[in-house]
Structure 1
Amino acid sequence: MTVTAPYRSALPAGRDGITRTLRAEWTKFRTVRGWMITTVAAALVTMLLGLLFAVGSRTSCSVGPVEVACPAVPLGPGGEAVQDRFFFANQTLTGDGSITARVTSMTGVITYPPPDHDKLVSGLVPWAKAGIMIKASAAPGSSYAAVTLTGRHGVRMQDDFTHDTAGRPGGVTAAAPRWLRLTRSGGTLTGYESPDGTRWTEIGTARPAALPATVRAGLFVTSPSDMTVKANTMGGSIVQARFTQASAVFDRVEVRGRASGAWRGDDVGDDGGKTDWERYHRPSGLLQAGGTLTVTGSGDIAPSRDGVRVESTLTGVVLGLILVIVVAVMFVTAEYRRGLIRTTLLAEPRRGRVLAAKAAVAGAVAFVTGLTAGAVAVPLSVAVLRAGGNHVLPVSPLTEVRVVAGVAALFAATAVLAVALGALYRRSVAAVTTGIVLLVVPYVIATASVLPDAASEWLTRLSPAAGFAILQSIPEYAHVTGHYTPSDGYYPLAPWAGMAVLCLYAALALGLAVTRLRRRDA
């Protein structure tokens, strides 16, 4: 005790001591040429594999024997890719006003559903929609608000493709019709519903992004594909989608305000690619009989999932992470292998500080590596993809920044985890193998469709592979029919929540490593 106390008092303390320890660890890292080369390789692999994916991806369409560029996908008011196909019976409405209608019937047809796929059946898919709408124009992607009755989700108020507010549940029959109302006051639209046309309940309000003074107000019907998901015996799922169509009967229709008196029918978003059912059996359209209007339509009004996702340009991230794990582990284990850890701990007996400094240096280097790789790979590969005729799903600048920063965060958290594993195992092979098994293997298994969907979701919820959610650019929308699984680029946790799971693993491993380092000889 008489020797130890004076020795400790001579050591650097406080902030100066931390700075010196960090500087010492950074000096060790940068002076080992192999570690620096491998770190650069991690960035290059991430960039080059993403660019290789982009160069090898080309898309084109044809008109007869002639190859042409594919038609542009409509964009919504927020810049997102959208589906905007439906039949719209409408009038022009200038200034403030309202539209009210009673829905007395909603029916539909689903083509060739399982199990036999040999007949047409009557029925409505859950997100078939029939209701009233105020829309900037009949152009696909234009701003709108709607109050709609759905196949299985009751009454909803939706606007500008991404916003959805629930009203009362239930369907419609002739004995129990549903009344809908949508009013405009300046830039605010308010939706209402009623069981009898007398007692009205407000559903919600919306402020669509770009409504001009003169808009279209009317009745609409649409019906998205019928989707079924069947487990594959080899793992993953088999997803099938079939054409559907819906019809709704409206009466007591009233448009208040400065509106035109004639109804016009617009097949919004029709690109000429109609099915045989539409051509020969029941085409979309409007039928009027006295005060009753029957509207038939198909399609969907929702964000689109069809296209290449921004994070698809980051196919090299997995290999880059493996290199990060190798470097971060060896940053620790090399000192144990050569016996230099004793010298390090003599210079700084605060063992927790030493390990924290190693984690900070490895994490900072990995962060810069990931940031550089993402900042080059994403915009460059996206530009190459678009030049090749591919439709890249647009995202906001903030989302693109988050994806790029997500690569950096993923690299940094992985490096900290690997440092902790190196300190725990003190052997390179065991630590590297554990790091890959914890992070890379669950991600590969979950996204390669070798497990049932539920198992893949739990794997990316509970394992460190949850951190890959930080790269997801297109969110899951509850009001859009889709197959939302890791193999399709959708994770069960939100981006930053998934990253928090990986960081929790890294922090736990680092805490265990500090405890072991303090309790056992170097």
Structure 2
Amino acid sequence: MSLLRAEWTKFRSVRGWVLSSVAAVLMILLFPVTGLSGGAPEETAEVPTGPDGEPVASAYYFVRRTLSGNGQLTVEVTGLSTLRGTPWAKAGLLITTSPEPGARYAAVMITRDHGVRMQHDYLHDRPGPAGGTHWLRLTRSGAVVTGEASADGTHWSIVDTVRLPELATTVEAGLFVAAPPRAEGLGTATDVATATFTNVVSTGRWATVQPDGDPREAGGSPSDDGDESAPRVDGGAAPDGSGDRGTDTKGGTITSSAGETGTSAGGAGSDSEGDRRDAGAGRKARAVADGWTGEQVGAETAGFGGYPPGMSGGFTLAGHEFTVTGTGDLGPAVRSEMPFGATIGELLAGTFPAMVVIVVAATLMWTTEYRYGLIRSTLAVGPHRVRVLAAKAAVFGGVTFVTTLAATAVAIPVWSSLARGLSVYLFPAGTEVLFRVAAGTAAVLAGVGVLALGAGVILRRSATAVTAVVTVTVLPYLLALIPFVPGPMAQWLTRVTPAAAMAVQQTLIRYPQVDSVYTPTNGYYPLSPWGGLTVLGAWTVVVLAVAAVLLRRRDA
């Protein structure tokens, strides 16, 4: 204890060391002001929020009808192709409370490279049977939705059964197609998928949309003694025997079951490049054919990249076959699709200049004693050299942890509020995550300070020690943040160097069902927060051990 008191007294009495702690705190509190900016609220696109309050991607082409009560929909997916080969391109059946972004849903689907899946409410994903599956079935019974798959349309396997709380009596259900952006190199590229569906069979009370826009029920109702459980094969003649007309989103035509065509939304015969470009950018338009309504959901949401030039979403119906083209995704939102957003870790950008200040102060705490010959007096008070080193490390590490913890605890809520006031979208984080970020950041700075103290003992020269510590702590992380650094190198730098500890500031989650650019540049680290902190701890222990050995063998 006497050594700790002596080192604490010495720390307080040296004005430069105290000022270094103050400077580190100010860096954390004030540094974000240099880079934080926002836009006018009216210029900020909507970020859909899922049922659990998380940001989600909710964009897809939906060919739907309205289902009242319980019902079932069966389909055979005979083809799925994409422009760029996105692995998670998907086509299948979907039921939702509303065709609005962020609404609850359940879907069974066939994907390009990941087989049959059952997904619901954006975060949940369950694989289905492997190999040769083309048939899908979705059954609604109250709030319970069951997804099934089959290779022959006769023998069925349940993929998953999910419960959608507060599912209304009347829901929207039908065919959907989505194509998430494909991860290519350092970024992503918009993709488009086209799927063909046939043998669409529905049971239950389904409302159809007629050319005049009036909904009518198919399958009967209690008032007219119809059998609502009788299956209906879609893609044939409309219930009243008439051929339906409809428009697609690119201003072309849709062929109805009767072989008639309708004029485009842009005017009769209009199919100009300008019309296609507007639709590709996400203009909300509807198409109607044989009682089915088709539209691009989520066209105006943040993260929706639209369609490539000359392409657009839509569907056609010829005989019993639907052909549906769409883009977008249903799943958790990822950073690469919302680069305008900010994370809690980015609000603590002052961590890096604060780290440099702490490294300088920690090395000087030991090297100045060698420079001015004070080391002999220090060792005279405490002849056990390793204990002296431990006392200095405890004092400096403790002071750094306490002061920077206070700084991060203030900076996070203050800068979060300011960011929202500037219309900067802030990725949400729970209370436990915020506590981990604050305490973890303080632990990282304290650990780096102790590591720098050990480096000062080993190298004895301030400039050399500071350069060495900055090279292995700050520099690797800054390199990993450069967008042009290859992903594998960025992953390696934040896995084996002390910079791995910055994973404590990670608030984003990597989801296996979303293909994206998961790099430190976008806020994703290869190690878990505590795994990264362990790497820094290992470096610090090794450096202190070497310092202790050299301290015992060297002359003062």
On whether the aligned pair clears a TM of 0.5, the verdict is: yes
- Give the secondary structure class of the aligned counterpart of 1:78: coil
- Give the secondary structure class of the aligned counterpart of 1:363: helix
Give the equivalent residue in structure 2 for 1:3: none
- Give the secondary structure class of the aligned counterpart of 1:251: strand
- 1: distance between equivalents of 2:501 and 2:475? 13
Q: Does 1:76 align with 2:50?
A: yes
Which stretch shows the higher mean deviation, 314-323 or 333-342?
Answer: 333-342
- Give the secondary structure class of the aligned counterpart of 2:491: helix
Q: CA deviation at 1:364?
A: 1.8
- Give the secondary structure class of the aligned counterpart of 1:90: strand
- Give the secondary structure class of the aligned counterpart of 2:45: coil
Q: CA deviation at 1:411?
A: 0.9
| Cα 1:371/1:281, change in 2 over 3 Å | closer
- Residue of 16, 34, 37 corresponding to 1:52: 34
Q: CA deviation at 1:368?
A: 2.1
Aligned residues of 1:325 and 1:432 also touching (Cα < 8 A): yes
- Over the residues paired in the alignment, what is the CA RMSD in angstroms? 3.0
Q: CA deviation at 1:206?
A: 4.3
Give the equivalent residue in structure 2 for 1:299: 328
- 2: distance between equivalents of 1:326 and 1:382? 30
Give the equivalent residue in structure 1 for 2:18: 36
Give the equivalent residue in structure 2 for 1:308: 341
- Give the secondary structure class of the aligned counterpart of 1:79: coil
Aligned residues of 2:190 and 2:307 also touching (Cα < 8 A): no
- Residue of 422, 429, 439 corresponding to 1:395: 429
- Residue of 241, 250, 265 corresponding to 2:189: 241
Q: CA deviation at 1:340?
A: 3.7
Q: CA deviation at 1:213?
A: 5.4
Give the equivalent residue in structure 1 for 2:276: none
| Cα 1:93/1:275, change in 2 over 3 Å | closer
Give the equivalent residue in structure 2 for 1:324: 358
- Residue of 128, 136, 142 corresponding to 2:97: 136
Q: CA deviation at 1:41?
A: 0.5
Q: Does 1:104 align with 2:104?
A: no
Aligned residues of 1:146 and 1:159 also touching (Cα < 8 A): yes
Which ranges in structure 2 are unaligned for 5 or more consecutive residues?
208-216, 219-290
Aligned residues of 1:309 and 1:474 also touching (Cα < 8 A): no
Q: Does 1:411 align with 2:411?
A: no
C-alpha deviations, 1:65-98, integer Å up to 9, x for none? Answer: xxx3423211112222222111223344566665
Q: Does 1:181 align with 2:211?
A: no
Aligned residues of 1:251 and 1:293 also touching (Cα < 8 A): no
- 1: distance between equivalents of 2:428 and 2:44? 16
- Give the secondary structure class of the aligned counterpart of 1:511: helix
Give the equivalent residue in structure 1 for 2:368: 334
Aligned residues of 2:306 and 2:327 also touching (Cα < 8 A): no
Q: How does 1:255-404 map onto structure 2 within 5 Å?
A: 255=203, 261=218, 263-271=292-300, 283-285=313-315, 287-289=316-318, 291-304=320-333, 305=335, 306=338, 307-310=340-343, 311-404=345-438
| Cα 1:28/1:99, change in 2 over 3 Å | farther
Q: Does 1:488 align with 2:522?
A: yes
TM-score, normalised to structure 2's length?
Answer: 0.76
Q: How does 1:143-292 map onto structure 2 within 5 Å?
A: 143-169=104-130, 178-183=134-139, 189-207=145-163, 211-212=167-168, 214-229=170-185, 237=186, 239=187, 241-255=189-203, 261=218, 263-271=292-300, 283-285=313-315, 287-289=316-318, 291-292=320-321
- Give the secondary structure class of the aligned counterpart of 2:195: strand
Q: CA deviation at 1:167?
A: 2.9
Give the equivalent residue in structure 2 for 1:518: 552
- 1: distance between equivalents of 2:362 and 2:438? 21
C-alpha deviations, 1:108-136, integer Å up to 9, x for none? Answer: 4x2xxxxxxxxxxxx64211111122323
TM-score, normalised to structure 1's length?
Answer: 0.80
One-letter amino acid of the structure 1 residue matched with residue 173 of structure 2: A
Which ranges in structure 1 are unaligned for 5 or more consecutive residues?
1-18, 62-67, 111-122, 171-175, 230-236
- Give the secondary structure class of the aligned counterpart of 1:443: helix
Which stretch shows the higher mean deviation, 377-386 or 456-465?
Answer: 377-386
- 2: distance between equivalents of 1:499 and 1:415? 14
The one of the two structures with greater contact order (alpha-carbon pairs below 8 A, sep at least 6) is: 1
